[in-house]
Structure 1
Amino acid sequence: MEAFKLANRWTLEHTKAFLALKKGLVLEPVLKAPRWDGSSFIITADGCKEGFAAVVAQRFEVVHPNGTTTYKTHPVGFALKRTLTSEQNYKPFLLEFAALKFGLDKFLDLIWGFPVEIEMDCQALQDVIANDKLNTVHSRWRDKVLAHHIMDVRHIPGKLNMVADGLSRMWEGQDRVMGDRSEWTVSEDWEAVTGLINDVFGVTIAKGMMGSEAVTDCKTLAEHFAEEPVFREVIDALRVLESPKDNKAKQRAKHKAACYMVEGN
């Protein structure tokens, strides 16, 4: 089909049909317009190594021919992106966590200030959201989730999460292409999204200065941060943690070095 050309076959009627199809995919009955009358928004998210997907839906009243009334959940919007190369290395529960953050961020303008119900197929993620002892990055994710007016968090088996699960896996076995949104990461906060980059804490050390990566070269790091009292104290604390000091000294050092680490030496 790659060699098949449409130049002499594609007419104005084909263009009209194509545009009508695009329009139909974003209108009823495929999508319904959101209601901001206090009704809950339902966010269903799913993450896998290849992609993140989220669906936002609401319950709508349906009147049947016999006069009875029921409520049916209907989608209001869909969102998906392919994972960044680094995101593919996330553990399974972090993939689900990132997918949830992606969905809430994507539909922020739609759901902010209104009741939100969360559906996910990862039981461990419920425990993560309730955990107040996360690292700095994941604590920020958790705080952004809890900033919403969350009414309920439900676990649904993967086989029942067909829409979000199917969307998240649409890139399996396919090459990366322009427009699959794999060029940006969901872990960025609003500063990075708006183009502001905080590199105050960026460190560049000449190649070869650090020696073996198996052991932290605290001496070189201490020299590098000689004029930075805050970081010098952190390096000293890291040095204590790697030494045979008593537990009491290590507890004090652990407090000082909390949320800091040496990565790749």
Structure 2
Amino acid sequence: MQERPTATHARWAESILAHNIVDVQHRPGIENPAADAISQMWQNRLHFLGDGSDWSVVPDWEARDKSAHPIFLVTPSEDEISPHPLEIRFTNDSFFMPIVLYLLGKPAGASVRERKRSKHRAESFFIQDDKLFKLNSRGTDRCPSVECVPSSEGFEIALREHQSKGHFGRDLLRLHLHDRFFWPGM
């Protein structure tokens, strides 16, 4: 390896470091059409004797090599088997469910178009302490983020707010709700 990078590598490293990289995410093949196409390129081709198509990795290669730790052992965790509390809460909400699934890293649609739409809609949302929040980015918003609730719970929250604070007008009640909550059709 070279001790000093070439000019091309130095420019590349400088351009990468100039960006504010917050998160690096793995894109599975189903969401990455280019990689998926490359991996399936030879799938429907004719196979001939000796072309390597019948070759595979021995399933117990780590046992044969006496590997101390099965580093590639994949078992589903309890989190993967049982649904997340947000999945249960937003089950019947067609607006939030794709957003929640995308943020949890689960398949958020059957087609590529639906997954891209979910990704786009989830840009201003985040999960914290098992709650879904909407990030307010407009200058007119008084709070940086508000909790998201299903539409079915929205009316009950508004009714509770009205009963606890009294009737000071529709606009004032709505302003108080906008500072703490978000649901579609608010």
Q: What is the TM-score when the length of structure 2 is the normalising length? A: 0.26
| Bigger share in strand | 1
| Bigger share in helix | 2
Ranked by relative contact order (alpha carbons within 8 Å, sequence separation 6 or more), the top structure is 1
